[in-house]
Amino acid sequence: MKRDPWRLAYHLMPPDGWLNDPNGLCEANGVYHVYFQYAPNTPAPDGRMARTWGHYAGPDLINLSFKGVPFWPETLDRDGCYSGSALVEDDGTIDLYYTGNIKEAGDYDYIHDGRLSNTILVKTADGGRTYSDKHLLFGTPDYPKDCTRHVRDPKVWREDDQYYMVLGARMNDDSGAVLFYESLDGVSWRLLKIEKTGEPFGYMWECPDYFEMDGQPVLAFCPQGLEAEDFCFQNNHQSGYSLLSGDLRGKQMFGPFREWDMGFDFYAPQSFVDDRGRRIMIGWAGLPDKPYGNPTAQRGWENCLTVPRVLIKKGNRILQKPISGLKRLRKNPSRPDGEGRLTLPDASGDIEIAFADPASSWDIQMGEGVCLHYNGCIVRLALDEKTGCGRDERLARLDGVRNARLLVDRSILEIYLNDGETVFTTRYYADFETDRRLEMKFNCAGADIYAWEMQP
């Protein structure tokens, strides 16, 4: 695994084994914490052991180091310490809320029977070195009776002296929904309401997140079971947000659902506000029930997180912008030669492009197997058979492209168009048999292009 050329230079990946959702994102006492769904040793989600959490921490979101596993599956979470979030108390204590998954042995469908999800609280007073015992807050017998056994992924926050929690759920009529709870102390919780769209929008909503931007409530969630359409819902499960109208304590109406990311690999993002007041989101650059075999699995590890993205509201859209600190990793600036050629010697880089005319067409070739193309109305990200492991293309309709930022990192590519209005995240598996040189070719007449290599 250590010699694998697809290991990443500046994206968070598991030290070994399997990673999925980001969990427990927070800043406490000047330390940033990024927990994640983790199955150590085994590059499969339910391989040799049930999933638990892994922990990265550091003074900023660039210099993070792996701190180990905070807790392991026991009785309350026997079949997985599933996803959850962090709330930082005024005294700096971190409260971690998560789902303890239990699957009973037997002939169950695990939708209506045979599964329990416990909502659990663990506290750490010293920034993650020691953790309290697990405290069971409530569980399956306490959820509303019209929920199936799929209820999970608590996101917790505080407004004034009130605590709130949102959980994702699958209802008995096979519609996705979220459950809102409230509490005065973060320990005793009461159901506030169930929210869902007027018409069912998928059968299950995972990993919800709720926050306000410029006074407007936002519900982010991951609906499962949507039919693919021409320019949306192209992955097997989706991830996006709706702006809501109305107050949290009353009935809220859903605005249109917008996908966070148009690429092949994006799911289960979580956001938090740091001490500088930035709302920062990190996503899993992957998907559950993945429709393709990830070749890094044979090399002992699988999956990674996106870079942290600052969220900015513009009109009724939320823009995503890579955190500014990433620029500190830039080195060796360069520009494409007269023929538009540029080499990234270690397949890791950060590239900024300002297009001369937003309406003109262009294309960018990365190595043999990755092509990004714009024809004046549609952006097409195409992977060849080998580089894409059988995945072919992703499309987005765009009325002009003013600028692009490409974050290239060995086996992940993040593309930010129009200041982060449209984003594509994808893993790609170029042929790095002899070295990691990545040749790029820009056919972008008149564009201003600046590139940097990136330090690990």
Q: Where along the sequence are the contacts to ligand FRU (CB under 6 A)?
A: 20-21, 37, 51, 82-83, 99, 152-153, 206-207, 267-268, 288
Q: 3-class SS at 309? A: strand
Minimum distance of ligand FRU from residue 392's CB (angstroms): 24
Q: Is 21 a catalytic residue?
A: yes
CB-CB neighbours of 267 under 10 Å? 24
Which of residues 306 and 418 has its CB atom nearest to ligand FRU in the complex?
A: 306
Whichever of 152 and 309 has its CB closer to ligand FRU, that residue is 152
* Dist CA 258 CA 319 (whole Å): 11
CB of 408 to ligand FRU, least distance (A): 25
Nearest distance in Å: CB 83, ligand FRU? 3
Q: Which is nearer to ligand FRU, 154 or 367 (CB)?
A: 154
Find the catalytic residue in 16, 21, 153, 409: 21
CB of 126 to ligand FRU, least distance (A): 26
Choose between 93 and 140: whose C-beta lies nearer to ligand FRU: 140
Cβ closest to ligand FRU, residue 35 vs residue 180: 35
Cβ at position 71, least distance to ligand FRU in Å: 14
- Give the C-alpha distances (Å, rounded to integers) separating 11 from 54, 329, 435: 15, 12, 20
CB nearer to ligand FRU: pick between 208 and 388 = 208
Token pair, residue 169, equals: 């759920």
For residue 70 the two structure tokens come to 């905070």
Distance CA 221, CA 261 (A): 13
Contact 86, 121 (CB under 8 A): no
Cβ-based neighbour number of residue 138 at 10 Å: 17
Chain CA centroid to CA 453, Å: 24
For ligand FRU, the closer CB: 301 or 416: 301
- What is the DSSP code string of 177-189? EEEEEEESSSSSE
Minimum CB separation of residue 117 from ligand FRU in Å reads 9
For residue 303, with 0-12 CB atoms within 10 Å meaning exposed, 13-18 middle and 19 or more buried, which class applies?
Answer: buried
Q: Which two tokens stand for residue 241?
A: 């947000």
Supply φ then ψ for residue 242, to 5 degrees: -125, 140
CA–CA separation, 286 and 259 (whole Å): 15
- Provide the β-strand partners of residue 220: 209, 241
Q: For ligand FRU, which is the closer residue by CB, 36 or 355? A: 36
Min separation Cβ 135 and ligand FRU, Å: 18
Q: Are 449 and 335 in contact (CB under 8 A)?
A: yes
As measured in angstroms, the least distance from the Cβ of 206 to ligand FRU is 4
Smallest separation (angstroms) from ligand FRU to the CB of 211: 19
* β 279-284/81-88 pair status: unpaired
Nearer to ligand FRU, 37 or 426 (CB): 37
- Which residues are known to be catalytic? 21
